[in-house]
Amino acid sequence: MAEQGNWAFPKGMQPQQNELRFDLDSALDAVVLLRSEIPEDAFTASILGTERVGNGIVIRDDGLILTIGYLITEARSIWLTTNSGLAVAGYPLAYDQATGFGLVQPLGKLGVPAMPRGNTASCGAGDDVIAIGHGGPAHALKSKITDKREFAGYWEYVLDEALFISPAHPQWGGAAVVDMDGRLLGIGSLLVEELHEGKQAQGNMVVPIDALEPILDDMLKLGRSRFAPRPWMGMYAAQTGGQIVVGGLAKDGPAQRAGIRQGDMVLEVAGQRIASLADLFRKVWQLGAAGTEIPLTLAREGSLLNVRLQSADRNDFLKKPQLH
Indicate if the pLDDT at residue 9 is higher than 50.
yes
Are 79 and 35 in contact, with CB atoms under 8 Å apart? yes
Give the end of a domain, one of 227, 255, 279: 227
Residue 322 domain flag: no
In this structure, the answer to whether residues 252 and 125 fall within a common structural domain is no
Q: What is the pLDDT of residues 282-306, one digit of tens each?
A: 999 999 999 999 999 999 999 999 9
> Residue 201 sits in a domain of what CATH number?
2.40.10.120
Residue 212 domain flag: yes
In this structure, the answer to whether residues 277 and 213 fall within a common structural domain is no
Output the average pLDDT for the chain: 94
Indicate if the pLDDT at residue 159 is higher than 60.
yes
What is the Cα–Cα distance from 259 to 123, expressed in whole angstroms?
45
- 197 or 230: whose pLDDT is higher? 230
Banded model confidence at residue 197, pLDDT cuts 50, 70, 90 = low
In this structure, the answer to whether residues 164 and 209 fall within a common structural domain is yes
Banded model confidence at residue 202, pLDDT cuts 50, 70, 90 = confident
Domain that holds residue 257: 235-317
In this structure, the answer to whether residues 311 and 208 fall within a common structural domain is no
SS3 at position 220:
helix
Residue 324 domain flag: no
Indicate if the pLDDT at residue 18 is higher than 50.
yes
How confident is the model at residue 1, as a pLDDT?
46
What is the Cα–Cα distance from 49 to 42, expressed in whole angstroms?
9
Indicate if the pLDDT at residue 4 is higher than 60.
no
How confident is the model at residue 2, as a pLDDT?
43
Average pLDDT on 214-223 reads: 94
In this structure, the answer to whether residues 171 and 245 fall within a common structural domain is no
In this structure, the answer to whether residues 221 and 239 fall within a common structural domain is no
In this structure, the answer to whether residues 177 and 311 fall within a common structural domain is no
Q: What is the pLDDT of residues 57-113, one digit of tens each?
A: 999 999 999 999 999 999 999 999 999 999 999 999 999 999 999 999 999 999 999
Residue 323 domain flag: no
Taking CB atoms within 8 Å and a gap of at least 24, the contacts of 188-195 are: 188/55, 188/68, 188/131, 188/133, 189/68, 189/100, 189/162, 192/151, 192/164
| 17: DSSP letter | G
In this structure, the answer to whether residues 260 and 217 fall within a common structural domain is no
**Burial of residue 10, with CB atoms counted within 10 A of its CB: 0-12 exposed, 13-18 middle, 19 or more buried:** exposed
Bridge partners of 146?
none
Q: Specify the number of domains making up the chain.
A: 2
How confident is the model at residue 241, as a pLDDT?
84
Q: Mark out the alpha helices in the chain (DSSP H runs).
A: 24-29, 45-48, 216-222, 254-257, 277-285
